[in-house]
Structure formats: C-alpha cells, structure tokens
Amino acid sequence: MNKELEKQINIIFGLDLEIEPYDKKTGLPRYLTSGRRIFIAKSSDVDFYVVKIHEPKDSRVLSKEIGEYESALGGNVAFWFESLNKNYRNSYVKHHIPFVMIPTQIFLPFLGIIFTKKFTNTNGVARTKLSYHAQMLLIKLLYLPRIKYSKADIAQRLQLNPVYVTRATKELLDMGLISEYKEGRSVFVERENSSEELFDSAKQLFVSPISKVIYVKKNKRLQEYPIASDYALSEISMINPSDVPVYAWWKKDALVNDVKIIDEPSWNDSDDMVKLELWDYDPKKLSEGKTVDIVSLYCSLMNNNNPRIQKEMEDILEDFEWQL
C-alpha cells in the first residue's frame, strides 16, 4: 500500500520519493506507536515521516500528537488515513495538520497542497516548497550583488555538482524567482529584484534545513561548525543563550559517525553535551562567520513557537543589510 502512496505523491509533486517502513527506536510513548505504523519518505530533495492510524481523531488531539512525533523523529510528519470525511478534512486543513488519504486527498503543506478533482470537482494546483538545493542556491543569490552568474560559477561557489545546480536553477526559474540568459555556450542566472524583495517573495516557499536533532558528548571538532538555533540567535540579539550549545552539521558529513550520541539528554549534565542539528544542506557553504547564515537561521526557526524568538528574528531581518 505504501507503494501506491509513493506513486501518488511522486506524480503530484514531481518528486522521486521512496517510502519504506521506519523501524528504528523513536523514544515515543506507547500510545503513539501501538496499533500504528511509521514510514519514512525519502528523496534527494526532501525527507519526511508518515504515521498510519486506523481512524481520524479530533484536530486538537492530532495537533498535540504531531508535535510529539516531530520532536522524536526530527522531521516533518503527516498522518495517513484509510478513510476521511469532509468535516475532518476541513478541520485538519484549518489547523495545518498534514495528512494523506490516497488517491483522493493529499495535504502536505511542507511540499504543496492538492485536492484531486475526484474529491473536489476542481483542478487542484500544487505550489511546491523549495528543494534543498534550490533553497541553498537562492539564499546564496540573496547575499551576492545583483549581476549575472554563470551556472559554472554558482556550482564552484557552492561546491555543488553542476547537475544539482541545473535542477535548482530550473526550479527557481519555473517559480519566477530568477531569470536565465544564454550567452554562447554559457547559461547565466540573475535575480531581478533586490534581495529583500526576493526574500519576501520566496519566504513562504522556504523549508527548514533541519533533518534531525541529536545530543552528543562535547568534542573539540564541533567548534569547526557554525552555531545554530536560538544559541546562534543569542549571538546577534538580546535573547539569552540556551544552556546547551547548538551546532549545525550537514547530515552527510562523515564526522557525524564519530560523535558519541547521548540517548537520554535529560539525564546528562548540560556542561558535558551539545545539541547537533543535522541539516539537509551544508551550512558551512553559506556561513561566513561563527553562526549559520541569517536566512538559513530564519528557516530553521520559522516553526519555533516561542514568540520572543520570532520577534527577535523579525527585528534582525528588518535591520539586515540586504543587497540592492
């Protein structure tokens, strides 16, 4: 059945997802695992989790549960139902609870939104979120002067395979976020607006770069990586730093395998551990200081419910020296 879900999502969103059972230990309470199945949906652009439950529940209950799932799994989560009536559907959409019921209903706000013609009698239009490579490229353009850049130049600046750059620029071009020009054998891209205007146009399409969060024993090598989350925010605002330092790592960095993971951080001395955010793109490629870059920091904190953090982030973006 997960293959049918995989097929439908891939068709709708133009992805190349693989969905498979997720059998690793999660630390979730029994009531969130008993009688339920957890799947992981993976592609080169996005990872998220799907929790299959037998019957719909009140949106207030699911809203609380999804927070527990996302905290334990370290990624976006959607619920999978065998059946779902219109009242439940409308309630879940209203309260931003991602769900799927194939083949008629799909609501994945971190990818895009679609309700098929079979259910609504209208043609749904999905506007997807940015893929990680496209987001990384767009952020880089926000920091650069408004001139034309060849794809080869961008690939070199970001140390990315040219194939990924080509896919990312096509995605941004299709969304109307950049322009493209061909001169001889070279292809150039350019933003046509100020970086602040472009940021405002694109911020609803940004995704959190955080794939997973882990706690590890302190290690001197960690200081080679940019600090992140509210810990980074405390460096550039009046907010107080958290007790545990937070660093951002690319999830494919080999050093991730060399750290000592702490399974029960609440039982450990905060002075002996750090928090690691494993990112879907390399934060070091955009960072030019001791913290992650400003826009990526915004993306990593945009789902944080702390009003103080959101206010500080808004003030920083307002005062930021954007490129013209």
48, 123, 54: which is closest to 78 by C-alpha? 48
**pLDDT at res. 276:** 92
Mean pLDDT of 21-47: 84
Q: How many Cβ atoms are within 10 Å of 57's Cβ, its own excluded? A: 16
- pLDDT band, residue 103 (cuts 50/70/90): low
Q: Whole-angstrom distance between the N-terminal and C-terminal Cα of the chain?
A: 50
CATH topology of domain 132-205: Arc Repressor Mutant, subunit A (1.10.10)
Mean pLDDT of 170-194: 89
- The DSSP code sequence of 246-290 is EEEEETT-GGGGGS-B-S-GGGS-GGGEEEEEEESS-GGGT--SS
- pLDDT band, residue 258 (cuts 50/70/90): confident
Two structure tokens written together for 141? 């353009």
| Cβ–Cβ under 8 Å, residues 251 and 278 | yes
Question: pLDDT, tens digit, for every residue of 81-94?
Answer: 988 888 888 888 88
Residue spans per domain, the chain: 2-120, 132-205, 210-319
Mean pLDDT of 112-135: 55
**pLDDT at res. 159:** 93
Task: Return the biggest CA–CA distance within the chain.
Answer: 62
Written as one letter, the residue type at 276 is L
Is the pTM value of this prediction over 0.75?
no
Mean pLDDT of the chain: 85
**pLDDT at res. 247:** 95
Instruction: Please name every residue paired with 29 in a beta bridge, in sequence order, or none if there are none.
Output: none
CATH of segment(s) 2-120: 3.40.1350
The contacts of residue 153 (CB under 8 Å, 6+ apart) are: none
